[in-house]
Amino acid sequence: MKRTLIITLAAILVTGAALYWARPGVKAANPAETPAATPRKNSGEMVVAAGRVEPASEEIKIGSEVDGKLAQVPVAEGDQVKRGQILAVLVNADYQARVALAEASIRERQADLERLTNGNRAQEKRESDAIVREAEAVLANTQAELDRRRSLLDRGAIARFEFDSAEREFRVARARLDAAKERSGLVHEGFRAEDRKRVEAEIQRAQAQLRETQAMLAKTYIRSPIDGVVLRKKLRAGESVSGKGDTPVVTLGDLSRLRVRADVDESDVARLMLGQAAHVTAAAYGDRKFTGKVVKIGQILGRKNIRTDEPTERVDTKILETLIELDSGQQIPAGLRVDTFIHTTR
């Protein structure tokens, strides 16, 4: 009897507890919703966001435009470089040979053009005149021999074939004289206009080939596009590179101006304005503040770029990238994660 009573009382207590917790407005405690797990809210005067320091130029990955093997990479991490300075050189003996071949082709075509422009030399003209005079003398001799044999043929002193032979020699001599005069005329008059145009076109084609080969050779010299600092040296001499640019040789940045890329929570974007004062702090620098101002506000929300590693951090929220340019003269390492405070009141 007592045992039945005890069981009945226990059942009544369990049922009552279940009904109590099922009432509207009563919820069980959830560790994720306790104050310790709730993200810190921004105050009315500031927007707080996680950020990362970067060069004002951003990190520029420098690769190769052509496939090849690195002959040398004469820079080291931390080196100051100037715009146009050589950062790496590819093995390029084949490209240098192509340039030399193209230059030789241009010189050859230019020599042809000079010959056309200057005309034939005086010696060549005198030689052609001499050939004409020789042909005229041969023709005169064959003419005299033909006349003599015609007279003998009329008297019946020679056979017909002897006269015919003399006549053929005369015609050959006359043809040779005509040819000699034509050649002499060409020597004296120079080359035709179309010959000059043809050679000029060949020169232009050779020059285009030279520019092409020089451009290819220039691509084997990897140069800096900015004044900056070598942040990372990815490849060394002897390693291969791809013209696709998927593997950079070095990474550059302009550290003369620094900025912070901050992830501003979507709930705070309406409070952002260009020109707002801001400062950042980093655990490595204690309470020191690095001042700056908002110079750019993103136009589209996206996923977080920076994780704070806090257990309570939410990763499903949307953020708006905001850039804070730090005031000049402040030194802080690029890539350092910082806390960003944007002043929303003036």
pLDDT 10s digits, 2-16: 455 555 555 555 555
Domain boundaries 60-90+220-252, CATH class? mainly beta
User: Among 51, 52, 58, 53, which Cα is nearest to 254's?
Assistant: 58
Q: Is 252 in contact with 318 (CB distance < 8 Å)? A: no
Distance separating alpha carbons of residues 151 and 250, to the nearest angstrom: 100
Q: Is 282 in contact with 335 (CB distance < 8 Å)? A: no
Same fold: 60-90+220-252 with 98-215: no
What ranges do the domains of the chain cover?
A: 2-32, 36-56+257-343, 60-90+220-252, 98-215
pLDDT tens track for 191-224: 666 777 888 899 999 999 999 999 999 999 999 9
∠ CA 53-337-287, rounded to 5°: 100
pTM for the whole structure: 0.58
Q: Tell me the pLDDT of the chain (346 aa) as tens digits.
A: 445 555 555 555 555 555 544 444 444 433 333 333 333 445 568 899 999 999 988 889 999 999 999 999 999 998 999 999 999 999 999 999 999 999 999 999 888 887 776 655 666 767 887 888 888 888 899 888 888 888 888 888 888 888 888 889 889 988 988 888 887 776 666 566 677 788 889 999 999 999 999 999 999 999 999 998 999 999 999 999 988 877 899 999 988 889 999 999 998 999 999 999 999 999 999 999 999 999 999 989 888 877 666 655 566 678 999 999 999 888 888 889 999 999 987 5
Domain boundaries 36-56+257-343, CATH class? mainly beta
CATH superfamily of 98-215: Helix hairpin bin (1.10.287.470)
∠ CA 170-173-178, rounded to 5°: 125
Q: Is 340 in contact with 260 (CB distance < 8 Å)? A: yes
